[in-house]
Amino acid sequence: MSFLPVIMAGGTGSRLWPLSREYHPKQFLSVEGKLSMLQNTIKRLASLSTEEPVVICNDRHRFLVAEQLREIDKLANNIILEPVGRNTAPAIALAAFCALQNADNADPLLLVLAADHVIQDEIAFTKAVRHAEEYAANGKLVTFGIVPTHAETGYGYIRRGELIGNDAYAVAEFVEKPDIDTAGDYFKSGKYYWNSGMFLFRASSYLNELKYLSPEIYKACEKAVGHINPDLDFIRIDKEEFMSCPSDSIDYAVMEHTQHAVVIPMSAGWSDVGSWSSLWDISN
């Protein structure tokens, strides 16, 4: 079964200013080798069977995204433009609606990734994605939990629940960024993972849960993609309809409340490069 990668590239990377700037945020920078973080995110999918990736970004960065996709031969009318930022739940909904309309697979598996993450062990990443496939194909909403290497206060956490399969767990809860003592307890317990913000699920599975749990987001996004305006390599949605959409993350809108969340552990040298210290760790 093939995957449809959905790459979220709308962030501003303000925590790495002045290296990461409003008009050229960190996902378009090269922190490892010659390729940008966006390009590396797409390149690491080479060992998976995937359709052409869909990239979601804001209007301001559209030509930068298009040029970086062209450089790696991945430009194919596959850039969804958000007229305004509304966080990750609506962004993924736009991609899911478009996928159901246009994808080769009638109900594709969406592999949702951030454009600004570093993953040093691509073999481990690929293995985890393939392991998650059977759960996502059967209607689960899979998130990838990073096995922590130390007590970390800079990430949210996922607490695993009951074992439902080989190295796959029901999600017990999502936890906000802890203080250092609590992070130490999480690390020692072995039951908590860093929240990676990476997901795998069928387009219909996500939209069904969104419709049930966050109907206002669902309705606004459904209307927004009902008036798509193709523009060169870009997909423009209805601005007025999308402006009415509530702003919420996928965690708050769906994952914290669904009964179908599964966490797959991943040990792949992951970082969201959210601070100067994490950038230093990667470069060294």
Q: What is the pLDDT of residues 84-111, one digit of tens each?
A: 999 999 999 999 999 999 866 689 999 9
Q: For residue 38, what pLDDT is reported? A: 96
Low-confidence ranges of the chain (pLDDT < 50): 16-18, 20-21, 275-280, 282-283
Q: How far is CA 144 from the centre of its chain?
A: 10
Q: For residue 277, what pLDDT is reported? A: 46
> Domain coordinates of the chain in residue numbers?
3-283
pTM of the shown model: 0.93
Contact 199, 250 (CB under 8 A): yes
Q: For residue 104, what pLDDT is reported? A: 67
Condensed to tens digits (0 to 9), the pLDDT of residues 12-31 reads 555 544 454 455 688 888 87
Distance separating alpha carbons of residues 149 and 265, to the nearest angstrom: 13
Q: For residue 11, what pLDDT is reported? A: 67
Contact 278, 271 (CB under 8 A): yes
Q: For residue 203, what pLDDT is reported? A: 98
Neighbours of 37 (CB within 10 A): 23
The CATH code belonging to domain 3-283 is: 3.90.550.10
